[in-house]
Structure 1
Amino acid sequence: MGVNKNLMSKIKKALISLSNKDNLKNLLTCLRKHKIQIISSGGTYKAIKKLKFKCLEVSDFTNSPEILDGRVKTLHPKIHAGILNKRKNKKHIQQLKENNFENIDLVIVNFYPFEETIKNTKDHKKIIENIDVGGPTMVRAAAKNYDDVTVITSVDQYDDLISQLNTNKGSTSVDFRQKMSKIAFSETAYYDALISNYFNKLTNDDFPKKKILASNLIDKLRYGENPHQHGAIYSSSKELKLKQLNGKQLSYNNFNDIFAALTISKSLSKNNGVVIVKHANPCGVSIRKNNVECYKSALACDPVSAFGGIVSCNFKVSAKLATELNKIFLEVIVANGFDNSALKILKKRKNIRLIDATNFNKTENLKIMSNNEDFLIQNDDKINFQTKDFKVVSKLKPSSSQMKNLIFAFNICRYVKSNAIVLAHENSIVGIGSGQPSRLDSCEIAINKMKKFVNPDDDIVAASDAFFPFVDGIEKLIQSGVSAVIQPAGSIRDKEIIKFANETGTILVFSKTRHFRH
């Protein structure tokens, strides 16, 4: 019977160095079964001895003590030569003999908990001490030499290793070693990315010369935007801050809409507001105090577009509201929790996705848009609008309620695809015009939506994400019943717009900032 060239020689020595010491016993039992000698150090050595398994301390293996408070223990030629030598290279074999070095065939390492440390403390000295040096160095060495060495970097891989050793009588296949090597290099890259990003944040450098993204696969999706596209969702955390309580798997488009809805919801006052989104654009928003009336008002903005859309409630859903939500077909309902009675009502539709976003908060993370090998990065547009950010430029001044509605409409406007026009009435959006090459077209769409579904008699305000370059847009809004307009300043025709507002008795407010959303 021929030798299986896919297998390495039987593993004789393993070096184990772990921060996460879970599920060690089964692994150690397997190593002992296959007569694999264990080398370890520090806390891992103590844990192995406590489980009553034989283990050689690294300092005894290298004949060199741990120094510098444990900063230097595995950084030794005997360790790295044992890992990195090519087993079939005669020169390497000779050099190992000359130096009395031995092969290390299996490296089982996970790193100091740097990621957990930066989440739990701002103590810079403690964070620095949780940057692992020896662990990633050994992992990279073993991963590079996967032809002859097996590298394990996660507790989740122990069962696969045990299966390999039992199946192959103390050895592993090259396919397995290569797979573990690939994962190992991802682990070291991810770890270094976390450290790099920590220092960038520490020095307030959002745009360093080298930008490294660290993320974890959360789920492979059924497909991307369309069935012929592949899709997945990643996160810089190890899990999403969203909890699915009901319904089938979320799609790429579901996630896109959910994030669009939550971005708007979290810009509203705490525990207040309903946002309805379709194709990543809002089609209804309200901040009325009564939650049921708030939803009904948001829905009234455009009930046709809301069909099959996503509703985000910036509060806990009650049974009374759940009854209203169940009256139309919705893909997803997102909320800051659901009463048990509400869940019973909503779950009658088994496919509706119910998402608890109680733990979801907008962070200071950057927005990224990619294309081929290139990607754009920018800070998020999340200015917390206040009255001082605006200037009344018309002779006629807004009342406090009008000003509140103007700022509300302007806030929603920045989340609508440009060119964006948003109409509001009594703390609810009543018309939205989005994604048009012409601002005038957006005005017409917003007006037509309002007249079709809501059509209030008075006190309608309008917001534009950028300035009106000509009088025609603001003229069309005024003709439709708009009594107050808010827009960014900056046009060479600003004076003409102000003059027209004064001539028509229209309130005009200028913003200091523009808010395109392409």
Structure 2
Amino acid sequence: MTDLVYIGRALLSVSDKTGLLDLARALHDRGIELISTGGTANALRADGMPVRDVSEITGFPEMMDGRVKTLHPNVHGGLLALRDDDEHLLAMAAHGIEPIDLLVVNLYPFEATVARGGSYEDCIENIDIGGPAMIRAAAKNHRFVNVVTDVQDYPALLAELDAHDGATGLAFRQKLALTAYARTAAYDSAVSGWMAQTLGEVPRYRSFAGTLSSHLRYGENPHQAAAFYTDGSARPGVATARQWQGKELSYNNINDTDAAFELVAEFPADDTPAVAIIKHANPCGVATGATLAEAYARAYDCDRTSAFGGIVALNRPLDGPTAEKIAEIFTEVVIAPGADDAAKSVFAAKKNLRLLTTLGLPDPRAPGLAVRQVSGGFLVQDKDTAEVPELKVVTKRQPTEAEMADALIAWKVAKHVKSNAIVYVKDAATVGIGAGQMSRVDSTRIAARKAEDAAEAMGLPAPLTKGCAAASDAFFPFADGVEVLAAVGATCVIQPGGSVRDAEVIEAADRLGLAMIFTGQRHFRH
């Protein structure tokens, strides 16, 4: 028994008319009858192709501004009827229902309407009803019906028809059905997600969706399969960037590049040039400077060893002098809002270096969701978009203007360091970063050791931390952490506060001559 299905009749109803005329012509040339709706039918007629209006099939005109046109037994019966079931065939004959062997539908542009900031009413009007209903019907009956929901599948459909003299195989129809169900699921996910955000509700059911961007060679490790999906948002970043050169991005490249760009976005481009260098999703150097080249050099000096093979993110378009400095060591990826010809020319000699440009910085204050899978479910939270809060100096000594400026930079960086996090900043550049330790004191010591290593690499006397500001992503539970900070030369500390031993911590800071700032807000990053 053959699994081939010959296509005699096709229903076309598309919002995105890319490739429509070429597809319709190819179907018509193969003797396939065309049925269509509204604007799609008009486009086909304008091109000289014979087409039947769906209203001719249903016996009803399109009505209610096009809201009702395909929701009819003559359409859904033609899609859902089992061709090998005598009762179905008798019902079709009794009610004048003609079989539909191919459905080509893409949906109202709901996601695009949301992305461009459409009004509530516009978004509602762009929720497709008839399209998903037809797609699901055709996909369910894929033993007999082909359903195409993506322009990318038009060439594959025609190739399949050529390979089987006007028919398609079951395996092909199954793949089309899979894509169809995934598309309607993603569409419904977009609608429900938008409504949850718009209404400020935590929905009872939560779903997420994306569009396949690329198959990756592997995941975090070679034995893990992986792929990259985009969510359709216009947020500048690795998902929307243009890659100018270099081999394809890996799973780890994408993860680290995103971390780097989100961090550097904390420094507005119209403020001062800033550079962040990331390794394994943690910053190993962040700095500002009079120029990008200076900012890069200062960020690099924080941890020259870790910067090797790292990710570099810039808050301004990359220029030639900065590119020359970056090219002095092996770098995996450079991401920036843009790049001039001189920079591209410098990197052209580095075939393994990936250069990405984004045409903008992501807004670090824009709302979004962070999702993490756990056994049996997943955790969902708002992204950490908090601005620098109202600050409270809790020590006898007030921070100097320079200490306050460095403290605020340290606080921005600490937000992007895995907990427990300690960041030392001196003169607008990190000089030591301690990340991901079970003990906050250990992070404090590791950051100090990093500073010692940096001083040795530059041939400078230690400690670089003398006179620096230190940031802690969460409160100090005991005074010992503050004592270590003072021992390495920190003179100002910014931290959330909120410990039951805050009084002891403040007393230690006063005793050691430190200025201490409470934010009342923590930045755990696990």
TM-score normalized by structure 1? 0.95
Alpha carbons of 1:97 and 1:291: their partners in 2 closer, same or farther (altered >3 Å)? closer
In structure 2, the partner of 1:464 is: 472
- 1:383 correspondence with 2:386: yes
Shift in Å at residue 66 of structure 1?
2.0
Alpha carbons of 1:348 and 1:188: their partners in 2 closer, same or farther (altered >3 Å)? same
In structure 2, the partner of 1:132 is: 128
Which aligned pairs between 1:311-330 and structure 2 lie closer than 5 A?
311-330=312-331
In structure 1, the partner of 2:459 is: none
Deviations 1:82-120 (A, max 9, x none): 111111111111222222222122212111222222223
**Amino acid corresponding to residue 346 of structure 1 in structure 2:** F
Aligned with residue 374 of structure 1, among 377, 383, 390: 377
In structure 2, the partner of 1:281 is: 282
- 1:102 correspondence with 2:105: no
**Amino acid corresponding to residue 384 of structure 2 in structure 1:** D
Alpha carbons of 1:463 and 1:104: their partners in 2 closer, same or farther (altered >3 Å)? same
Q: Distance in 1 between matches of 2:296 and 2:163?
A: 60
Which aligned pairs between 1:166-177 and structure 2 lie closer than 5 A?
166-177=162-173
- Structure 1: give runs of 5+ residues left out of the alignment: none
Q: Secondary structure at the match of 1:200?
A: helix
In structure 2, the partner of 1:70 is: 66
Q: Is the 8 A contact 1:318 1:338 kept in 2?
A: yes
Shift in Å at residue 238 of structure 1?
7.5
In structure 2, the partner of 1:477 is: 485
Shift in Å at residue 208 of structure 1?
1.1
In structure 2, the partner of 1:36 is: 32
Q: Distance in 1 between matches of 2:57 and 2:260?
A: 58
Q: Is the 8 A contact 1:414 1:517 kept in 2?
A: yes
Q: Distance in 2 between matches of 1:493 and 1:127?
A: 51
Q: Secondary structure at the match of 2:167?
A: coil
Q: Distance in 1 between matches of 2:466 and 2:28?
A: 83
Which aligned pairs between 1:12-411 and structure 2 lie closer than 5 A?
12-205=8-201, 207-237=202-232, 240-271=239-270, 272-362=273-363, 363-386=366-389, 389-411=390-412
Between 259-268 and 152-161, report the one with greater CA deviation: 152-161
Alpha carbons of 1:381 and 1:155: their partners in 2 closer, same or farther (altered >3 Å)? closer
Shift in Å at residue 74 of structure 1?
1.1
**Amino acid corresponding to residue 173 of structure 2 in structure 1:** R
Shift in Å at residue 168 of structure 1?
2.3
Shift in Å at residue 504 of structure 1?
2.1
Q: Distance in 2 between matches of 1:170 and 1:346?
A: 50
**Amino acid corresponding to residue 326 of structure 1 in structure 2:** A
Between 151-160 and 432-441, report the one with greater CA deviation: 151-160
Shift in Å at residue 121 of structure 1?
4.3
**Amino acid corresponding to residue 20 of structure 1 in structure 2:** D
Q: Is the 8 A contact 1:256 1:280 kept in 2?
A: yes
Q: Distance in 1 between matches of 2:222 and 2:329?
A: 26
Q: Distance in 1 between matches of 2:62 and 2:357?
A: 49
Between 422-431 and 324-333, report the one with greater CA deviation: 324-333
Q: Distance in 1 between matches of 2:173 and 2:126?
A: 28
Deviations 1:46-86 (A, max 9, x none): 11111212122222222222222221111111111111111
- Structure 2: give runs of 5+ residues left out of the alignment: 456-462
Alpha carbons of 1:202 and 1:301: their partners in 2 closer, same or farther (altered >3 Å)? same
TM-score normalized by structure 2? 0.93
Give structure 1 regions of 4+ aligned residues with deviation exceeding 3 angstroms: none
Shift in Å at residue 281 of structure 1?
0.7
Q: Is the 8 A contact 2:470 2:492 kept in 1?
A: yes
Deviations 1:137-160 (A, max 9, x none): 111111111111111212222222
For the aligned residues, what is the CA RMSD? 1.7
**Amino acid corresponding to residue 79 of structure 2 in structure 1:** I
In structure 2, the partner of 1:422 is: 423
Shift in Å at residue 360 of structure 1?
4.4
Deviations 1:243-301 (A, max 9, x none): 21111111111111111111110111325211111111111111223322211111111
Identity %: 41
Alpha carbons of 1:91 and 1:346: their partners in 2 closer, same or farther (altered >3 Å)? same
Q: Distance in 1 between matches of 2:430 and 2:198?
A: 40
Alpha carbons of 1:419 and 1:218: their partners in 2 closer, same or farther (altered >3 Å)? same
**Amino acid corresponding to residue 354 of structure 1 in structure 2:** L
Aligned with residue 493 of structure 1, among 466, 477, 501: 501
Between 185-194 and 34-43, report the one with greater CA deviation: 34-43
Shift in Å at residue 372 of structure 1?
4.3
Q: Distance in 2 between matches of 1:500 and 1:359?
A: 44
Shift in Å at residue 457 of structure 1?
7.2
Q: Is the 8 A contact 2:7 2:32 kept in 1?
A: yes
Q: Secondary structure at the match of 2:285?
A: strand
Shift in Å at residue 385 of structure 1?
0.9
Alpha carbons of 1:417 and 1:95: their partners in 2 closer, same or farther (altered >3 Å)? same
Q: Distance in 1 between matches of 2:100 and 2:84?
A: 15
**Amino acid corresponding to residue 279 of structure 2 in structure 1:** K
Q: Secondary structure at the match of 1:482?
A: coil
Q: Is the 8 A contact 1:393 1:509 kept in 2?
A: yes
**Amino acid corresponding to residue 343 of structure 2 in structure 1:** A
Q: Distance in 2 between matches of 1:421 and 1:155?
A: 50
Alpha carbons of 1:171 and 1:315: their partners in 2 closer, same or farther (altered >3 Å)? same
Deviations 1:413-449 (A, max 9, x none): 1211111111111111111111111111111111112
**Amino acid corresponding to residue 174 of structure 1 in structure 2:** L
In structure 1, the partner of 2:3 is: 6
Number of positions where the alignment pairs a residue of Structure 1 with one of Structure 2: 511
Q: Distance in 1 between matches of 2:23 and 2:343?
A: 46
Shift in Å at residue 236 of structure 1?
0.4
Q: Is the 8 A contact 2:110 2:126 kept in 1?
A: yes
Q: Is the 8 A contact 1:242 1:359 kept in 2?
A: no
Q: Distance in 1 between matches of 2:23 and 2:491?
A: 74
Q: Distance in 2 between matches of 1:22 and 1:311?
A: 37
